Structure 1
Amino acid sequence: MKNEKLLAQLQQLSELLRPFQFGVGGSCLLWQLGLETSPNDIDIVCSEDDFAAICSELAAEYQLQEKASHSEYASKHFVRFSRAGWPDIELMAGIAVKTKGKIQRWQFNPQRCHWQNNVCWMPPADWLQLYQLFNRPQRVAQLRQYLVQLRLGTVN
């Protein structure tokens, strides 16, 4: 039941954001790949040009949360939205992380996203890069294993 509800929520969000350049990733992507059983939030990456417009769309239906700062994250745009009965939505653009005093930027390429089950998904390889950037070794290992199995043809 929970999986059907999450899929319906992702479909509703994707339809709302259809006019924009965006993709769903993070733990929802891992869930869609069969690597995660219960995502705790919905990560949406979008183009910097569309960030403000997407924020306006989401603000009409979701509550904007206070921005919590993180000493290593240096993204140009990041906001969190919430709504009763929904996982939090994290919207980000211009992703960058401070590592050892240097800022590493990651470029979103919306042409790499694909629609499946009426949800606009980011490619797993992009989230492998992002999880490396975010220093999330467990997620990196999950995605590396998935991508190796995909190349070997052992993933459905």
Structure 2
Amino acid sequence: MSTPAGSKESEIFRRYESAVVLHAQAGAKAVGLGATDLYALNILGLSGAMTPGELGTRTGLTTGPTTRLIDRLEAAGYVRRAADPGDRRKVIVEPVGQPTELDRVLAPVRRAIGEIIGDYPADQRAVLFDYFERAAAAYQRAAGEIG
């Protein structure tokens, strides 16, 4: 089921998406990063170390911009380049520790969203997290279809 464009539900969802994007951009800026930098850190935090090529693919960047992205994250102390343990000719990018300044900036919204979700009964929270998981997969598929 989809909601018709212009419907109240569609407008609510669009406001939600815009607010999430705006918050990500503001959080990134607050710690001296770009939105793509923050996105890359999230990818590394969720998936772990990967090659620059894999990170470029996951962020939608070509080789040159990926190198500059890694340079920025490395200079800020968020990642490091290391030899791939499986093939020392390759380099992997791995997250370094916890980005405490970033965590500090994002903590208020994480708490607020946690409180909102906590207000729902367990069965409704299960529906919310089912939605988050399925919607994330749908967005990833759709991004691949666009690019």
- TM-score, normalised with respect to structure 1: 0.33
Greater strand share, structure number? 1
Larger radius of gyration: 2
Greater helix share, structure number? 2
- TM-score, normalised with respect to structure 2: 0.34
The structure whose RCO (Cα within 8 Å, separation 6+) is larger is 1
